[in-house]
């Protein structure tokens, strides 16, 4: 089952965990590490559908403090496809995530944190996904 995270211009993360963060965006979200201008500082650009959507800056060689989360930004959201495939990918990696169905049922969501504490929201058009809402969403909605 294919998974696409969709397109956003980009967001920037300043991290002391560059390799771990690159692995998360590659292995978990399915983004690809790609071309990056020759900046005077280390980092990586992560691509979705040919667009550099996540810009990573390695601050491990600086005195800059690592922020413990995404600061005042609560989360970053992507229009996505392949809900079941993403849920299976997260489960197979033992990752903690939350699946929700937006009231009214037209939108399914997955929330997962990257290694830096940045919350990623993945939004799925229920009409484009196969089958009924997954059981974990029904369980989550019942707990609310």
pLDDT of residue 136: 62
**Domain enclosing residue 32, as ranges:** 11-61+68-143
Is 126 inside any structural domain? yes
Cα dihedral 106, 81, 87, 135 sign: positive
Point out which residues pair with 11 in neighbouring strands. Answer: 54
Torsion angles phi and psi, residue 125, rounded to 5? -75, 110
Tell me whether residue 47 is in a domain: yes
Collapsing DSSP states into helix, strand and coil, what is residue 69? coil
pLDDT in tens, 10-36: 899 999 999 999 999 999 999 999 999
Domain assignment of residue 16, yes or no: yes
Q: What digits encode the pLDDT tens for the residues 75-92?
A: 999 999 999 999 999 999
**What percentage of the chain reaches a pLDDT higher than 90?**
69
CB 68 within 8 A of CB 16: no
34 lies in a domain? yes
In a domain, residue 3? The reply is no
Q: Is the dihedral of CA 38, 40, 45, 51 positive or negative?
A: negative
CATH number of the structural domain spanning residue 52 = 3.10.180.10
Share of the chain above pLDDT 70, in %: 88
Total domains in the fold of the chain: 1
130 within a domain of the structure (yes/no): yes
């Amino acid at each position: 089952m294919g998974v696409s995270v969709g397109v956003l211009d980009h967001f920037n993360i300043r991290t002391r965990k560059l390799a771990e963060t690159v692995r998360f965006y590659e292995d978990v979200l399915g983004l690809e590490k790609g071309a990056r201008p020759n900046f005077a500082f280390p980092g990586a650009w992560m691509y979705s559908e040919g667009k550099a959507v996540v810009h990573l800056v390695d601050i491990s060689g600086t005195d800059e403090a690592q922020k413990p989360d995404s600061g005042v930004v609560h989360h970053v959201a992507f229009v996505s496809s392949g809900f079941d495939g993403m849920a299976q990918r997260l489960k197979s990696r033992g990752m903690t995530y939350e699946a929700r169905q937006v009231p009214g049922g037209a939108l399914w969501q997955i929330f997962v944190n990257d290694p830096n504490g940045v919350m990623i929201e993945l939004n799925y058009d229920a009409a484009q996904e196969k089958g009924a809402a997954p059981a974990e969403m029904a369980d989550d909605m019942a707990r609310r």
